[in-house]
Structure 1
Amino acid sequence: MMDDPGPLGRFGRFGGRYVPEALIPACEALEEGFRDAWADATFRATLQQTLELYAGRPTPVTPALRLSAELGVTVLLKREDLAHTGSHKINNVLGQALLARRMGKRHLLAETGAGQHGVATATAAALFGMRATVFMGERDMERQELNVFRMRLLGAEVVPVTSGSRTLKDACSEALRAWVTEVADAHYCIGSVMGPHPYPWMVREFQRVVGEEARAQCAGLLPAAQPDVVVACVGGGSNAAGTFAGFVDTTARLVGVEAAGGAAITDGAPGVLHGFQSQVLQDEAGQVREAHSISAGLDYPGIGPEHAHLADIGRAEYVTATDEEVLAAVERLARAEGILPALESSHALAWVLRAAGTPALPTGSTVLVTLSGRGDKDAEQLAARR
């Protein structure tokens, strides 16, 4: 479970590679390049050293003592908000940038919603002396102005996407189109466990460090060595996939929390989007429906294919949180623990606040929550909603 999906890139009935013929060779070359690099001890050591010396790994697991006392459950926070650039996105981007450099690529293409993946891509490009072009929905640029500024300050070109809903879905579409035109020199640095094979598998492997660290850290903090429940927010689902990979072979319950307005597992149906088959929000005619979330990073109408598979086989469960619950969770954690979480991460917190003391999360339980990012970027939105 959560292993190599094989040459077809299938997670049960989900995954695969559904791209224009012009991109098939690029995807095949990427799979070959990743398999070769991931089997190379030198590549793995270089990535590990870069994560430690540059990105600040390992990130700690912090016991949320006051919040735990208030809720009657032990809450542990995996602090990806403390990684360089402010989120888990740097783990995947450093891996892909090193791989792109190994494959002779000099230009990184990326999509971004909340801007954190774009910032991480711009950061890695600056570190390794590469070009970066980031596609971002015009609506997301308006609500994440700080991250747009950060990307440009780091030297990236930020391209506004004005089509469709002007959000993450449309940014992904434009990045794929750009890759077709520049496939010889450019690498499309996808930010989540989505896209055509090998991306869902490759991104999960680059994010696996989150779950593996957390598992070892929990073993040193908890009498039972592992938490009862592991929770993470899910849009495409990279922070959740990386976290779940560390616990999938344990007895811990795995809970992914989607935005109520973009819940592909809860409200979607099997479909193909951006090169992969998964659960996708669709209307009666099979057309992709727009997602909605206060969080730009979860404003996506699909979900990573491995998450769809984990739901299919019952290994993970997927629930939702509303915008109002998310805003309340931000303030609750900030005031109880002095930690300002990203709106994305606050979906996971919102479920914990709602479930604590119920059969879903009984009193006395231990829950690990992955804080995928910090909330500085959301300050303007939060101020406008108060």
Structure 2
Amino acid sequence: MTNFSQADEAGYFGRFGGAYLPPHLVEPIAEVKAAYAEARNDPAFMEEYAHLLKAYVGRPSLLHFAENLTLHLGGAKVYLKREDLNHTGSHKINHCLGEGLLARRMGKKKLIAETGAGQHGVALATAAALLGLECEIHMGAIDVAKQHPNVVRMQLLGAKVVEVTDGGASLKEAVDSAFNTYARDFEDTFFGIGSVVGPDPYPSMVRDFQAVVGREARAQILEAEGRLPDAVAACVGGGSNAMGLFTAFLDDEDVALYGVEPAGRGVGVLGEHAATMTTGTDGVLHGMATKVIQTPEGEPAPVHSIASGLDYPGVGPQHAFLNEVGRVTYVSATDVECLDAFQLLCRTEGIIPALESSHAVAHAIRLAPSMPKDGVVLINLSGRGDKDVDYVAEVLASR
């Protein structure tokens, strides 16, 4: 049986992953790897982490049967894993608390990270405030404008928000900026990467902290339906919410797994989408070997998505591996499909989803009607859409 979940000792999932680092970062990243290997086997560390998930985050998050949406689609039952109900409003708090606890264990004084939609930044700032750490968040200028409420939240929580104006001024540039700052100040600083991306051990570590989503969802759907779902869907940018959900079902061959990428304005034009699995080629980005959307010159290309958290030209290496071995099917949804799904969920279920999560909802809208009525589709609703409502209103008005 293929080992879908574990990287090898060098951090590779098949041929994807590893740690491609400048010489001065080899030692600090190795320090993180050693510290995490020790912490994950320390019952006291894991007990404190589990306690915070329950007592602070509010886990387990609910599994909601979307009855009205199911009736509207006329096919399979649709269930939503409600990560939007977590403290801070998304799945990001799951790994941010883990990273914050690890940073404190290592004696670090400061957390630094990138953010796109701002949800990771808010969650990391929250963890820093709770655990008594400083926090610095790098965010592209485009996203600062789109996600202003989350900028205010980060600042209220005590974080320093660095607006990045280089290049496309979006998530990729924010990652670059944060890495450059970390390289100058790693002795007292922990890099809290926001997805299952980056050099080993981050893809595995963030996935492990997010795996609670899948463990809960699996138990909840078995209780609700007496069986596993036929299909599971989650949006994919870097891919942390998807890996968190997928991990519990990877060995269940009868469960179809769908990662939904942003097709933006259409995948036919470079710079108009961020569908890495559809158009990406092998490359190295932010310390990992993975699939990358690249220019003809081999540089990371400009990308676009209506959802700031998916606006990334790469993808987590485990996703690239799961695509290559055929265990997960990667599809895409356009900005228009995303907006339509956003509005439909609002009006049928009274739930305002994040634009990122709306990509997964969009695929379920396509999928469910073609399935039998006793079928089951499970969607990871990775975040709430409060952060997006002003931007969505502008976009809809411009239509």
Same fold (TM over 0.5): yes
In the other structure, the counterpart of 1:82 is 85
Equivalent in the alignment of 1:106: 109
Structure 1 residue 364 displacement after superposition: 3.8
TM-score (norm 1): 0.98
Alignment equivalent of 1:302, drawn from 314, 323, 329: 314
> 1:188: which partner in 2?
191
Q: Any conservation in 1 of the 2:292–2:315 contact (CA below 8 Å)? A: yes
Distance 2:316 2:302 in 1: 17
Q: How does 1:1-386 map to 2 (within 5 A)?
A: 1-71=3-73, 72-223=75-226, 225-250=227-252, 251-260=254-263, 261-358=273-370, 361=371, 363-386=373-396
Moved more, 279-288 or 164-173: 279-288
CA shift, 1:363, in A, is 4.9
Looking at structure 2, the residues matched to 16 and 6 of structure 1 have their Cα atoms a distance apart, in angstroms, of 9
Kindly indicate whether the alpha-carbon contact (under 8 Å) linking 2:78 and 2:368 is maintained by their aligned counterparts in 1.
Answer: no
Paired AA for residue 17 in structure 1: A
Rounded to whole Å, the distance in 2 between the matches of 1:157 and 1:145 is 14
**Structure 2: distance between partners of 1:362 and 1:144:** 39
The structural deviation recorded for 1:19 is 1.1
Distance 1:43 1:285, change over 3 A: same
Deviates more, 1:362-371 or 1:111-120: 362-371
User: Contact 2:368–2:377 at 8 Å: present in 1 too?
Assistant: no
Structure 2 counterpart of 1:357, which letter? P
CA distances 1:102-147 after superposition (whole Å, capped 9, x unpaired): 0101100010000000000110111011100000001100000000
The runs of at least 4 consecutive aligned structure 1 residues that moved more than 6 Å come to: none
- Percent of aligned pairs sharing the same letter: 51
Q: Which amino acid aligns with 2:110?
A: H
Cα distance in structure 2, aligned partners of 1:110 and 1:133: 7
Structure 1 residues 3-12 or 204-213, which shifts more?
A: 3-12
Does the 8 Å CA contact 2:6/2:13 hold for their aligned counterparts? Answer: no
Could you say what secondary structure the match of 1:246 adopts? helix
- In the aligned structure 2, how far is the partner of 1:115 from the partner of 1:2? 30
Is there any run of 5+ residues in structure 1 with no aligned partner, and where? none
SS of the equivalent of 2:352 reads coil
CA–CA distance in 1 between the matches of 2:299 and 2:20?
17
Q: Calculate the TM-score normalised by the size of structure 2.
A: 0.95
Letter in 2 for 1:108: L
CA contact (8 A) 2:63 2:217 kept: yes
Distance in 1 separating the partners of 2:104 and 2:340: 43
- Pairwise CA distance, 1:362: 5.0
| Corresponding letter in the other structure for 2:30 | E
Per-residue CA shift, 1:143-184, capped at 9, x if unaligned? 000000000011000000010100000000011111111110
Q: CA RMSD in A?
A: 0.9
